[in-house]
Copies of this chain bind each other. A is one copy, B any other.
Amino acid sequence: MLYLIGTGIYNENLSRYDIIEILNNSDYIYIDTYTSPIDVYSLVKELTAIGISKEKIIVAYRRILEDEVDNIIKEAKTKDIVILVPGNPFIATTHNTLVSTAKKLGIKIGIIHGSSAICSSIAESGLHIYKFGGFATVVRREKCSSYRAYELIKSNRRRGFHTLILLEYDHETGYMMKPDEAIRILKEYGKLLDKDDLIIVICNLGKKNKKILPITISELNKIKWEDNDICILIIPGDLHFTEKEYLNLIRSELGWRKI
């Protein structure tokens, strides 16, 4: 059997008895370090603290989850395999492919959800969920085009809709894109976002050092980020007066002027 288990943004699922039982009874636990940022060291520590043997934990990079995925599927035919995913699974098509491949071979699938960075970011932003018009990712130009993200922001803003943007992350090199770099990349595709335009940075969600920053582009350029800050961007469309009021309440708590 193959389990995809979301840890949740606080790793809250590691305190569920049914999940601890699945983890204990499983033959191998692959920690997905490829599809979302993850603090592997803390996670392994939490797993051993709840009694999971270190021997069956495998830190899985892109190669294992994409190129060599058939090996995992083959194992799942006769063994109980867990893929442990930060947040909620299926934020990446990697998981869709994995489950499809397993289903084709008649392997039983178990999916357990956790709190998700996407839905929690929308919640923290104070923006209305009904006004979000989709999601995209920004990556470094040498890796892949982010034109789709640029286009989505443009078309959402035309319709008054908000856009949620995930930023590139690479566990193998430790690279985590910062908001100012993402905006710079987006602007290379065409005119977008003036210096007085507001964006919202959701930083270190689920962690003690969580920050919600409703910030103009020119303010953004003055911020110093820590290397391990994990950020999600929200590019607002038209703001309802209650949304604007909420963002200003956060800004005034931070000692910033009203927008």
Using a CB–CB distance below 8 Å, which chain A residues touch chain B?
A: 6, 8-10, 12-13, 15-17, 88-91, 93, 95-97, 99-100, 103-104, 111-116, 118-120, 122-124, 126, 128-137, 148, 155, 159, 161, 206, 242-243, 245-246, 249-250, 253
Sample of 29 A–B contacts (CB below 8 Å): A6-B115, A8-B12, A8-B113, A10-B16, A10-B112, A12-B114, A88-B120, A88-B123, A90-B122, A90-B124, A90-B129, A93-B242, A96-B128, A96-B243, A99-B126, A99-B246, A100-B126, A100-B245, A103-B250, A111-B123, A114-B115, A115-B116, A116-B116, A116-B120, A118-B119, A118-B129, A130-B135, A130-B136, A133-B133
Residue of B nearest to A9 (CB): B113
Could you say which residues of chain B place their CB within 8 Å of the CB of A161?
A: 134
Copies in the complex: 2
Could you say which residues of chain B place their CB within 8 Å of the CB of A250?
A: 103
Whether A119 pairs with B88 at a CB distance below 8 angstroms is: yes
Could you say which residues of chain B place their CB within 8 Å of the CB of A123?
A: 88-91, 95, 111, 113
What is the CA–CA distance of A24 and B28 in the complex, to the nearest angstrom?
37
In the complex, given contacts A15-B15, A88-B116, what are 12 additional A-B residue pairs having Cβ atoms less than 8 angstroms apart? A8-B115, A10-B113, A15-B16, A88-B115, A90-B122, A99-B246, A111-B123, A116-B116, A118-B119, A129-B135, A132-B135, A133-B134
The smallest C-beta distance from A218 to any residue of chain B, in angstroms, reads 25
What is the CA–CA distance of A250 and B104 in the complex, to the nearest angstrom?
10
Whether B100 pairs with A242 at a CB distance below 8 angstroms is: yes
Could you say which residues of chain B place their CB within 8 Å of the CB of A133?
A: 133-134
Whether A128 pairs with B93 at a CB distance below 8 angstroms is: yes
Could you say which residues of chain B place their CB within 8 Å of the CB of A112?
A: 10
Residue of B nearest to A121 (CB): B113
The residue that A12 contacts in the complex, of B16, B96, B116, B118, with Cβ under 8 A, is: B16
